[in-house]
Structure 1
């Protein structure tokens, strides 16, 4: 099960719904791979794995993207192709999209902690280049619509209201969940959608 905490978130990795999951034993747990699963928290027996965290940051100042691209290492800027500087760091391994408005999007982290750490590092890089950036307004991004248009996108885009999560569901059984602000929202959203997916799978033979 591949998940992105963030936009599309995030999206990344992949996994098959129900694939590789054992049956409940006498102790009230199933085995996913070699790890026991707490059925009280994950009734389906499947534990979503976060693969990509997407965070947004407001640096609170306008930025000269050309200057940033010229002075910062690991930075790319081609305004004819994309209106943001693309910057990368190795630890944690992430990519930032930095806009002239001071908004920044950080992608690629494997955990919430790494996403926050990376965002702070990017903010410090910008500060050292002479911009009065402040680190505030960190918020995990979320989707805002739902649709199924296979001519444009091969998956069903489903917007869940509670918790407020966007799910990308593909005919292969692969799912991406985005928009969560905390890890438990991913778990809750998956448990809400799992019975619907399994029922649909049985009747429609995905």
Structure 2
């Protein structure tokens, strides 16, 4: 049982100033509401992704299922801007967050898990999951009573799998029979 990546958030610097109104009016699947959010939101189908394009030339790519897809989506969005007459340069591509989940197929005793040493938070009146923060590698786990686990904040898949390999034995100690 391995975590399955469901969302990659990446950033890239296009190194050019952009006219967001022009982009919103020229591109399909684009929306721009400057009073609500200071970026143009553009969606594409392949790879399925959303770009948040800011006036400064910074761009966030969200919704892809792999780092390679995020990079490809970013390049496609940059190409789209190039066709509009801008001269983007694809620089400083960085993965900012990866989200994955896994179903352990066992019930977890969350109260017991929260008694272990470490950085964690469990407020069942506010949120049904327990947040458990690992420092090395830097990954946060949201653990639910049902045995479902969401992994957040990983920068790459290796960190995610390393964190899971460290965390899973601890989780096994608190499974309900």
TM-score range, shorter chain: 0.7 to 0.9
Q: For structure 1, list consecutive stretches of 5 or more residues without a partner in the other structure.
A: 1-45
Give CA-to-partner distance per residue, 1:25-44, whole Å, 9 cap, x none.
xxxxxxxxxxxxxxxxxxxx
> How far 1:77 moved relative to its partner?
0.9
Instruction: Please report the RMSD computed on the Cα atoms of aligned residues, expressed in angstroms.
Output: 2.4
Give the stretch that moved more between structures: 188-197 or 174-183.
Answer: 174-183
**CA distance in structure 2 between the partners assigned to 1:98 and 1:176 by the alignment:** 28
The residue number in structure 2 matching 1:179 is 153
Give the strand-richer structure, 1 or 2: 2
1:76 and 2:31 correspond? yes
**CA distance in structure 2 between the partners assigned to 1:59 and 1:146 by the alignment:** 38
**CA distance in structure 2 between the partners assigned to 1:134 and 1:178 by the alignment:** 29
**CA distance in structure 1 between the partners assigned to 2:166 and 2:127 by the alignment:** 23
Q: For structure 2, list consecutive stretches of 5 or more residues without a partner in the other structure.
A: 99-118
**CA distance in structure 2 between the partners assigned to 1:125 and 1:146 by the alignment:** 43
Q: How does 1:10-21 map to 2 (within 5 A)?
A: none
* TM-score, scaled to structure 2: 0.76
1:159 and 2:133 correspond? yes
Q: How many correspondences in the alignment?
A: 157
Q: Aligned in 2, Cα 1:98/1:194: closer, same or farther, shift over 3 Å?
A: same
> How far 1:102 moved relative to its partner?
1.9
**CA distance in structure 2 between the partners assigned to 1:117 and 1:172 by the alignment:** 36
* TM-score, scaled to structure 1: 0.66
